[in-house]
A and B are shown apart, each in its own frame.
Chain A
Amino acid sequence: MSTTEATRADVCALAVAECFRNDGEIMVSAMGTTPSLGARLAKATFAPDLLMTDGFNLLLRRALPLGEKPTESDIEGWMPFGSVFETLWWGRRHVMMGASQIDQFGNQNIACIGPWENPKAQLLGVRGAPGNTINHVTSYWVPNHNPRALVERVDMVSGVGYDRAAALPSGEGRFHEIRRVITNLGVFDFETPDHRMRLVSLHPGVELQQVLDNTGFEPVIPEGVDTTPVPAPEVIGVLRELDPQGFAQKEVTL
């Protein structure tokens, strides 16, 4: 792996990291390879105040390389599942989850394909997605941007989208925020009047038409779409240190 040339996976990892830039002193829970790498990049560079676990129950004071086991000197605290629930209900958390399906308002499905009562495929189940999305900031990672993943309508709403949160009658949705969706093609947010998904930037080498062809709904396309920032050489160096085995390079398909 070159230490200076940025790959698409590197661009994605930096885009993930940017989701956490202004989060301050909260807990980040990143599910999956690229989210883990991106969150660690944020902590190792511009967002050192973030709290992160080893994926189990230890809070770690430094961003460890993917696959490396923490030592005693890496530990700064304890976060068993009971404390995870308390933290997420408290709201001091930003989670990045995957999405088997996601729609234009950010409704996410990780539960099943087909009707829940009689699923064609049982996936993970809703897990913590309903509680996460209604209680604190959420972002999503989609490693393979295609029309079966970015869909008109999800088969089962696991993570709550903007339309659902807005429909709650008495402000119950006030802690709901979907910060961004990062895919292997681009960066998206929901900063539109009706909170429909908007294209923020295309990764270098990606054409707008490619995104339109691979999205099952019409995303909002602003005037003058940006190009997703490419990590600087020193950032690429940090990425190589945080992912010495190149797990993230294998996850991102062009």
Chain B
Amino acid sequence: MTDKRMTVEEAVAHVSDGMTIGIGGWGSRRKPMAFVRALVRKGVKDLTVVSYGGPDVGILCATGQLNKAIYGFVSLDSIPLEPHFRKARQQGTIEAVELDEGMFLLGLRAAAQRLPFLPTRAGLGSDVLKINPHLKTVKSPYEDGEELVAVPALNLDVAFVHMNRADALGNGQSLGRDPYFDHLFCMSAKKAFMSCEKIVPTEELVAGGPLQSLVINRMMVAGVVEAPGGAHFTECPPDYGRDEAFQREYAKTAKDDDAWKAFRAKYLDVSEADYQKAVQS
């Protein structure tokens, strides 16, 4: 079986300008931030980012690499609206596709099932259809004749997710209390990459939690990266909680260009190892 271990740099080498990338996690929870930081270092641009958004979307807005965001929301949880995303929206520097949170999930499911769309009642009657003229409705072929929203598949070029544990083959384990939709991100992408807090032997992975914590299997991923602290500053329970102080510092940089430049120089234009050293001091 294939040993899929690689570095973050080797993983993000699969991303090129103009691609559509999916980012797992939820808000400021278990985000694959080591990959996001590697994308910043790589400088790849004109990205379409598909995400239950958090600082992944905010950072890529601030660096100018994000051209288009497709999202159910963009939040830092303890700070309800992502400030860099807010700034980008208010300054009109990004294209936005805003979907109802459930519509977003159906778009991922459609992509994972290789369907063109999935129908839902969500969105009917709301202005989500008005602001997204590309969204169409579909009429039920049965007697009810209901006219439902046909949520188009959110097909991805590359997806990134972060897990608590994984083995070298690409089996991944979520030890927190919510798996979110990371498996769907992987299945919606041509290629998916998984980082994790620790790579362990398969036996240790299986023994490390209930079987239902093994939410990623090796079919879903093309590469595995060991990245301790790889979700920082978002939470990654039970390994660590959100670094609220760091998140506040990050959020403040949306109001001050100099502060953002300093933040970027200290935390983003450095290697992952130097980042981890900087946040521990």
Contact = CB atoms under 8 A, between A and B. Distances in A.
Interface of A: 56-58, 78, 80-82, 85, 88-89, 111-112, 116-131, 133-135, 156-161, 164-165, 167-173, 175-176
Contacts of A112: 89
Interface stretch (B125-133, B156-164, B187-195, B224-232): B125-133
A202 to B, nearest CB: 31
Contacts of B178: 56-57, 80-81
Given A127-B73, A130-B100, A120 B124 contact: no
A157 B71 contact: no
Given A56-B177, A125-B71, A172-B147, A88 B126 contact: no
Given A89-B102, A123-B81, A125-B71, A82 B181 contact: yes
Contacts of A119: 89-90
| Interface SS, A side | loop
A122 B125 contact: no
B65 to A, nearest CB: 20
B259 to A, nearest CB: 20
Nearest to B148: A172
Q: How many of chain B's residues touch chain A, expressed as a range?
A: 35 or more
B243 interface: no
Contacts of A159: 126
B179 A128 contact: no
Among A121, A134, A164, A165, chain B packs the most CB atoms within 10 A around the CB of A134
Interface string B85-111: 110011010000011111101000000
Contact of A122 (B85, B145, B180): B85
A169 B123 CA distance: 14
Question: Which 6 residue pairs spanning A and B have beta carbons closest together?
Answer: A131-B122, A130-B126, A164-B125, A160-B125, A131-B102, A122-B89
Contacts of A131: 100-103, 120-123
28 contacts: A80-B177, A80-B179, A81-B26, A81-B178, A88-B102, A89-B121, A111-B127, A116-B98, A117-B131, A119-B89, A125-B71, A125-B72, A125-B81, A127-B73, A128-B100, A128-B102, A133-B126, A157-B126, A158-B126, A158-B127, A164-B125, A164-B126, A167-B125, A171-B144, A172-B121, A172-B124, A173-B124, A175-B121
Interface of B: 26, 71-75, 80-81, 85-86, 89-90, 92, 98-103, 105, 120-128, 131, 144-148, 177-181
Given A122-B89, A170-B144, A170-B146, A129 B126 contact: yes
Nearest to A157: B127
Given A81-B180, A128-B102, A131-B100, A120 B90 contact: yes
Contacts of A170: 144-147
B140 to A, nearest CB: 8
Given A119-B89, A157-B126, A175-B121, A125 B179 contact: no
A127 B52 CA distance: 10
